[in-house]
Amino acid sequence: MRRFFPVFSALVISLTTLTACGGGGSTNAAENFVAGDGATTYVAPSDRIAAPKLGGMTLLGTSYQLPSNEIAVVNVWASWCSPCRAEEPTLAALTQIYPEVNFVGILTRDNLVNAEAFIRKRNSPYPTLIDDSVLIGFSKSLPANAIPTTVVIDKKGMVAGRISGIVTIASLSELLDKVKSE
């Protein structure tokens, strides 16, 4: 018995150490995100930079390509993000207020099963792209600096503005109306 206990103790300590250090190669994205403060940035037409081409596979398994020559709202979100969940009804309502505007989501740092369940439950009216590598294309204009981030693209395909953090009907409407009136 004396001989068994030290070996057993060493085994338990080793396994506990390995388990505590392991993460299965993944990180908890919810612990590593920055929440925005709702700040709105508008870019004058002469200072705008081209938005990346947005397209690819959606969360629901369809192929999507953002149409050109139309205003677009691009929302970067994750299902684990409380502000993202809170703003979803606002974005859904804005798709009804602005039917001529293309809305598209970009899922970032999320579990596809959880995200799909979220959009199915909410019956989200716009597609969500699952390849967040397209976010790199915004790095020279208005990058997604928080989760959620919402970017507005003008009719010429240029980045016209960004809301860093949760959108409101008023904040996104003001930005969209400004871009529409150009």
3-state helix, strand, coil split of the chain in percent (to 5) is: 40, 20, 40
How buried is 62 (Cβ within 10 angstroms: 0-12 exposed, 13-18 middle, 19+ buried)? exposed
pLDDT category of residue 3 using cuts at 50, 70 and 90:
low
Confidence at residue 48, expressed as pLDDT on a 0 to 100 scale: 96
In a domain, residue 6? The reply is no
CB atoms within 10 A of CB 63: 9
Q: 71-123, pLDDT tens digit by residue? A: 999 999 999 999 999 999 999 999 999 999 999 999 999 999 999 999 999 99
Structure-token match 């208005």, residue found: 142
Residue 104 lies in a domain: yes
Determine the longest span between alpha carbons in the chain, in angstroms. Answer: 84
Q: What is the CATH number of the domain that holds 105?
A: 3.40.30.10
Q: Which residues contact 109 (CB under 8 A, 6 or more apart)?
A: 29, 32, 33, 78, 132, 147
Q: Would you say residue 15 lies in a domain?
A: no
pLDDT at res. 11: 35
The rounded Cα 114 to chain-centroid distance in angstroms is 14
| Domain assignment of residue 121, yes or no | yes
User: What domain count does the chain have?
Assistant: 1
Q: Is residue 3 part of a domain?
A: no
Locate 162 and state its tokens: 């960004």
Residue range(s) defining the domain that contains residue 154? 28-180
Tell me, yes or no, whether 163 lies in a domain.
yes
Q: Is residue 22 part of a domain?
A: no
Say if 125 falls within a structural domain.
yes
Q: What does the pLDDT look like over 127-176, one tens digit per residue?
A: 999 998 888 888 888 777 789 999 999 999 999 999 999 999 999 999 99
Residue 25 has pLDDT above 90, yes or no: no
148 in the Ramachandran plot: left (φ > 0), alpha (ψ -120 to 50) or beta? beta
